[in-house]
Amino acid sequence: MSVSIHNKRVFMICGHAQSGKTSLTESLLYKSGSCSRLGRVDEGNSLSDYQEDEIERKSSINASIFSFSRGDFSLTCIDTPGYLDFVGEVISSARAVDFAVLVIDAQSGVEVGTEKAWEIIQKENIPCLFFVNKLDKENTDFSRILKDIQVSLTKKASPLVFPVGREASFEKIEDILDKKNIDSLNGPDKDEALKLHTQIIDSIAETDDALMEKYLEAGELSFEEIKAALKKAVLSLRIYPVLAGSAVNLVGIEEVLSVITEIMPSPLNRKPPALKNESGEDVEVKPQESEKFLAQVFKTVSDPYVGQLSIFRVFRGKISSNSGFYNVSKQSKERIGQIYSLFGKEQKPVDSVSVGDIAAIAKLKDTSTQDTLSADSSSDASFPKMIFPVPAYSSSVKPKTRQDEEKISQALHKLTAEDPTFQVSRDSQTKELVVSGVGELHINIIISRIKKRFGVDVEIGTPKVPYLETITKKVKVQGKYKKQTGGHGQYGDVWIEVEPLERGKSFEFVDKIVGGAIPRNFIPSVEKGIRKGMAEGFLAGYPLTDIKVILFDGSYHAVDSSDIAFQIAGAMALKKALEQANVVLLEPIMNVEISVPDEFMGSITGDINSRRGRVLGMDAKGKNQVVKALIPLAEMFKYASDLRSVTGGRGSYTMSFSHYEIVPQRIAQSIIAQAKQAKGDK
């Protein structure tokens, strides 16, 4: 059945972990008649948390998508995870929806996950509906949570309902937008409900000058006028409705569905994300079915039965199964087979999808997350890239068997395609395979999936620090290799001068041979021997860097000199030079920017000092302070978890390489000893 764009609603459910997002999703599905039983997270039978690790942990890890109906309305809901380690799922989902439902635990109030979800909602500039959940629990107070929302998040939060009863006696939700409903209340409840009613009507009237004038003159407004003005105010982000209830007990769910269908915006109302052409100019997007097809892939999933699924939101036009599109991002054409509508882990075949729909296509050749899809190659306009957090927590990964080595590449490729916040790299110096994610939980989940989904057994550890070695003193030495074996012998003789280079200059080889002391064809051999010696290191086996080698003299034998003889002579000369040139250990120093609320500044600066870091400066950014520092990489591997612990999850950081510095002698001795022990163990 084709549904009018006016009757489509596309939204995400977000909030802090354990606030009841999945329970709300299950309740909406049940109340709309889309499923015959109410799934429960604690019983492991919810439709949303269907993956093995989600059932095991009783918590969402991936965003789950449900397309369902309520009367004449078509609803698409994305249930997102609350743990900050999986915030990438919330960021990508926010791009695909027209509004958000932000769930708040009535016992805990506004938490760090609530604040993060609100920040994402604000960045995408979409309307938001608050749902205060678990009002049937102990120590809950709707008025306290409402004040918390208004102080911590937005003053524009306005309640549309009033909860009747408290804690164990909480029984129902009363709609206070229509004053008639308040007449059934008594005593303090009625007084409080009337007070809230007056506040919401005042807030609505203030959003429209003509309405405000009428309200001041007449003293009241009709319910139809109130509802129409509220709808406009929500769309223009001047009011954020607040609802309440208990998702598990189905209290307040009808009110949520009513506000979603009657108040919250359709795809026709919400302004799509900015579309820009190659010149950087804005291109208007008209959300009409009659316009040319335009969509963006916001999520990729590897399904065990149908393969890789590319999930996209249609912002304009229409597309049919067994047709094709043009991938603007990859500048390539794609042929497509069956299009699927999603209902949790189920894929339901559909003939076509249009504006406002979220759908999936399997086994696309070139398409990946973030790609802009168009009807044809006549358009060069694309949607802006989503900005995901930089992976800050890293672990080394080592397959346990040779057979696992062959499987791990495929497993990691699929997992990085699914998750933009998960990255894989191979350190060219340490030769380690390094996986990076948002936090420790994120990496643990990834490792678990590598094992369970792909049958790959791996060992994880802390990545090795790519230390380097260098010299601090200038020396001149001779390297002479002479060997006689009865027939042709080996002879190579070189004199070199070795001196330190400016940090970051790596290596410089200077040929100052004159008068044919060494034939020209053997000079590259000397350099080759020196480079090989540099790669092997001196103190602890780490590569040498930032040295200049001048070849200024030597001798040769007309018969016994060879390429290999001069390579060995060069390596011997370098080794002799290093014995005299005061070799030191270098460590990578990172540029670190840490964003934290003011109250944690003392703890953060003290922690930076304990990590041998140097604070460079501080800048205010919104409610937070951004601390800029230089910190050795060796001190940063577990920082994501430590920072989260210190700041209650409110801190974040980014890190990039700055330069190499000499390791303090005391620490260097320990590193050298460990390296020698590891070499001996082998």
| The predicted structure's pLDDT at residue 268 | 92
pLDDT score at 222: 84
pLDDT in tens, 234-289: 999 999 999 999 999 999 999 999 999 999 999 998 877 888 888 778 888 889 88
At residue 351 the predicted structure's pLDDT band, cuts being 50, 70 and 90, is very high
> CA 395, CA 625: separation in Å to the nearest integer?
29
Query: Residue 26, class by beta-carbon neighbours within 10 Å (0-12 exposed, 13-18 middle, 19+ buried)?
Result: buried
Q: What is the pTM of this model?
A: 0.84
Higher pLDDT, 339 or 223: 339
Instruction: Say what the pLDDT of residue 84 is.
Output: 86
**Domains present along the chain, CATH in parentheses:** 5-178+240-262 (3.40.50.300), 275-374 (2.40.30.10), 393-461 (3.30.70.870), 469-581 (3.30.230.10), 587-667 (3.30.70.240)
Give the alpha-carbon dihedral of 639, 641, 644, 647, to 10 degrees: -60
Name the token pair of 504. Answer: 């970051």
Q: pLDDT tens, 153-193?
A: 999 999 999 999 888 888 889 999 888 888 888 888 888 98
Which phi and psi angles does 534 have, rounded to 5°?
-65, -40
Q: In this predicted model, what pLDDT tens digit does every residue of 403-441 receive, in sequence order? A: 787 788 888 888 998 999 999 988 777 788 889 888 888
pLDDT for position 56:
82
Q: pLDDT of 460-490, one tens digit each?
A: 888 889 999 999 999 999 999 998 776 678 9
Does the pLDDT value for residue 624 go beyond 60?
A: yes
- Binned at pLDDT 50, 70 and 90, residue 680 comes out as low
Q: How far apart are CA 350 and CA 357, in angstroms?
A: 11
Alpha-carbon distance 88 to 61, whole Å?
11
Q: Angle of helix 187-205 relative to helix 209-218, nearest 10 degrees? A: 130
126 Cβ partners below 8 Å, 6+ apart? Answer: 94, 97, 98, 99, 100, 270
- Whether residue 1 is predicted with pLDDT greater than 70 in this model: the reply is no
Q: Is the pLDDT of residue 52 over 60?
A: yes
